[in-house]
Amino acid sequence: MTEAMGEDAVRRARIDEGEAVGDLWLRSRRASVPANPPPAYGDEEVRRHFATQVVGSGEVWVVERPGVGLIAMLVVDGGWIEHLMVAPGLSGTGIGSRLIELAKSRAGASLDLWTFQTNLGARRFYERHGFEARETTDGDNVERAPDVRYRWERG
């Protein structure tokens, strides 16, 4: 399935794009520091994880811009948004909103996700899209950083 988003195409990631999806995740995550902690794993480990564990096993959507390449990604697995990343410099342009709406359209009764408590921009984004904070932790994650679980429920 491919959808047009302006000139951008929203589509399922191909199996051979795992490393490219990992690269996008790394660029986006690094650009989000200090709102998010730095990646807990090295670049090659992240690329390998996306190539062998994520792409091909979960529902991975990408946004591809002609002449640029992948500019955003969404990973949904069993009612959970595992990753939503937009390339540096493109936040606030509607790409993330489009991916959230895609996830909602394909979801069952609800969607859950975790984000870091310090990522106030992401928290506002999810709240604007109808997600409600349900739980917080003191850092029960690989980064050891406090996080918050959000849930969206179909009306």
The count of domains in the chain is: 1
What percent of the chain clears pLDDT 70, i.e. is strictly above it?
96
Q: Above 60 in pLDDT, residue 140?
A: yes
pTM over 0.75: yes
- Residue 124: inside a domain, yes or no? no
Asked whether 123 and 115 are in contact (CB, 8 A), the reply is yes
- Residue range(s) defining the domain that contains residue 36: 2-109
- Residue 139: inside a domain, yes or no? no
Q: Above 80 in pLDDT, residue 3?
A: no
- Residue 17: inside a domain, yes or no? yes
pLDDT, averaged across the chain:
95
Give 50-95 pLDDT, tens digit per residue: 999 999 888 999 999 999 999 999 999 999 999 999 999 999 999 9
Give me the CATH number covering residue 72.
Answer: 3.40.630.30
- Residue 61: inside a domain, yes or no? yes
Asked whether 70 and 56 are in contact (CB, 8 A), the reply is no
- Residue 34: inside a domain, yes or no? yes
- Residue 128: inside a domain, yes or no? no
The pLDDT value given to residue 57: 86
Q: For the sheet containing 8-12, what is the strand order?
A: 2-5, 8-12, 59-65, 69-77, 80-86, 110-116, 147-153, 132-137
**Which whole number is the average pLDDT over 38-43?**
96
- Residue 54: inside a domain, yes or no? yes
- Residue 143: inside a domain, yes or no? no
